[in-house]
Amino acid sequence: MHARITDIAAHDRQQVTIDGWLHNRRSSGKLHFLIVRDGSGFIQAVMSKAAVGDEAFTTADHLGQETSLSVTGTVRADKRARGGYELDVISIDVHGEAHDYPITPKEHGVDYLMDRRHLWIRSERQTAILRVRHEVIDAVRDFFNSRGFILCDTPIFTPAACEGTTTLFPVQYFDDTTAFLTQSGQLYNEANAMALGRVYAFGPTFRAEKSKTRRHLTEFWMVEPEMAYATLDDVIELAQGLITSVVARVLDRRRTELQVLERDTSKLEAITGPFPRITYDEAAALLKEKGLPFEYGTDLGGTDETVLSEHFDRPVCVTHYPAAVKAFYMKPDPVQSDKALCVDVLAPEGYGEIIGGGQRLDDLDLLVQRIKDHGLPQEAFEWYLDLRRYGTVPHGGFGMGIERCVAWICKLEHVRETIPYPRMLYRLYP
Ligand code: 4AD
Ligand code: MG
């Protein structure tokens, strides 16, 4: 019977075959200890000369790391073993030998590993991260699907900017047109929300950002909910609900992975609502108090976000930024019109912004003015202005970056490990 390592407990004392790769091998005279991985986990297969015979035993002498093989043996519970079980080998079948696998258990530099990302993702740590990523995405989908949101994806080729013209990737679109890779599906999402009430888009997003920070990719995945008849408060509630539900799901289903990553899970267990809320003004005062050289009126920088998010033990919602530093589509606060009805959610432990969103400008004349002020071509936005011409309503939503969310949940130094093939300023290979 074929079994996957993740299900091994169900096969105690049974004979099973595991199809996988050799992760590591240790030998002591009449015994080989083979650590086998199959993508779902790792198990130690114990091979004794007495059980498999001389020939098979000698073959195993020379197997290199990442040789593909099937091992057949009897599952045996062992408290000391990783995963609680070992396999007593009866036979092995080698499929593809590997010699001089370039990634050995010794330490390699990040560039070396990134150049071999297609192999690096086989490591225990990387597979743990990718499984957490999977869980985050699955939890996100379940969250919205179970709340009546309709998945309504938005285009990747777009004719205009959503988040500002400085970070657009142009693409030759047939002979005489330039298209741009989307920076956010939001504008289309707003149209979709007017059709379906509550929607979400989930796809890759592109930003030609020349920043080399631990938080920036040029291609990342963003989930974007949008709700008709919603205010800033509704948007904050939704963001909080999403984050707590994603964290709870990872804690529930990916304990093993978090353990591999040596994640302090008590920090994640503390992620319950309600999240603290502060205004931009309060954030500015806090930064001053902490002695940061923050200039009032500017956007929060990476260091500012780090410091703010270290100050709270759960995600903090920063609202009411100066409208001048935010995108053209933000609704101004009716009380202080120089502030926007927006929210950035900063993840704790220094991770900074994982969500950005708010209430949208729903007034036609004001929106036309904002498009002008931002130097954007009104023709490109006529369809978007139609949403204000035909039955406009208060509405809002946000975008959550999957990679930043995963980096925080796994407590990684850099977002580059949260996606199988990261795209960055100096990284387009493999
Ligand atoms: O704050 P941003 O730019 O917001 C928007 O794009 C809105 N239009 C979303 C909306 O309201 N529908 O981006 C949203 C999130 C950020 O909070 C961050 O998590 C992630 O996207 N993000 C990035 N992740 C990785 N690399 C980058 N370069 C990112 N830029 C933004
Ligand atoms: Mg933002």
Q: Which atom of ligand 1 is nearest to the CA of 224?
A: 12
R_g (Cα) of the chain, nearest Å: 26
361-393 tens-digit pLDDT: 999 999 999 999 999 999 999 999 999 999 999
pLDDT at 105 over 90: no
- Environment class of residue 91 by beta-carbon count within 10 Å: exposed (0-12), middle (13-18) or buried (19+)? middle
Q: Identify the residue whose tokens are 């091998």.
A: 25
Residue nearest to atom 4 of ligand 1 (CA): 356
Q: Which ligand has its closest atom nearest to the C-alpha of 358?
A: 1
Cα separation, 178 vs 148, whole angstroms: 36
Q: What is the pLDDT of residues 147-158, one digit of tens each?
A: 999 999 999 999
Cβ neighbours for 395, distance < 8 A, ≥ 6 positions apart = 190, 193, 194, 226, 227, 228, 229, 230, 359, 360, 362
Distance CA 162, CA 205 (A): 11
* Closest residue to atom 30 of ligand 1, CA basis: 216
| pLDDT at res. 195 | 98
Q: How far apart are CA 257 and CA 135, in angstroms?
A: 11
Contact 345, 315 (CB under 8 A): yes
Of 192, 218, 221, 222, the residue with max ligand 1 atoms within 8 A of its CB, to mutate for a pocket test, comes to 222
pLDDT more than 90, % of the chain: 96
Q: What separation in Å is there between the alpha carbon of 145 and the centre of ligand 1?
A: 22
pLDDT of 246 reads 99
Q: Which residues contact 367 (CB under 8 A, 6 or more apart)?
A: 328, 329, 361, 385, 388
CA-based nearest residue to 153, from 188, 197, 196, 181: 188
Reported as a single tens digit per residue, the pLDDT across 182-230 is 999 999 999 999 999 999 999 999 999 998 899 999 999 999 999 999 9
Residue type, 220: F
393 Cα to the center of ligand 2, angstroms: 23
Please say if the pLDDT value at position 290 is more than 90: yes
From the CA of 184, which ligand is nearest? 1
**pLDDT higher than threshold 90 for residue 38:** yes
Enter the DSSP assignment of 274: P
Residue type present at position 428: L
Q: What is the pLDDT of residue 164?
A: 86
Closest ligand to 225 CA?
A: 1
Distance between Cα 401 and ligand 1 center (Å): 6
Q: How far is the CA of 129 from the centre of ligand 1 (A)?
A: 21
Residues 5-96, CATH architecture: Beta Barrel (2.40)
Which ligand sits closest to the CA of 183? 1
Ligand 1 mean position, distance from CA 208 (Å): 13
| Ligand 1 binding pocket mutation candidate from 186, 220, 305, 359 (most atoms within 8 A of CB) | 220
Q: Which residues line ligand 1 (CB under 6 A)?
A: 162-163, 184, 186, 207, 209, 216-217, 220, 222, 224, 353-357, 397-401, 403-404, 415
What are the sequence ranges of the domains in the chain?
Answer: 5-96, 118-418
Q: What architecture (CATH level 2) is domain 118-418?
A: 2-Layer Sandwich (3.30)
Nearest to 354 by CA among 327, 317, 380: 317
- What is the CA(402)–ligand 1 centre distance, in A? 9
pLDDT of residue 83: 87
Q: Identify which of 430, 187, 429 has the alpha carbon closest to the alpha carbon of residue 327.
A: 187
Question: What CA dihedral angle connects 325, 326, 331 and 337, to 10 degrees?
Answer: -10
- In the prediction, which pLDDT does 44 show? 97
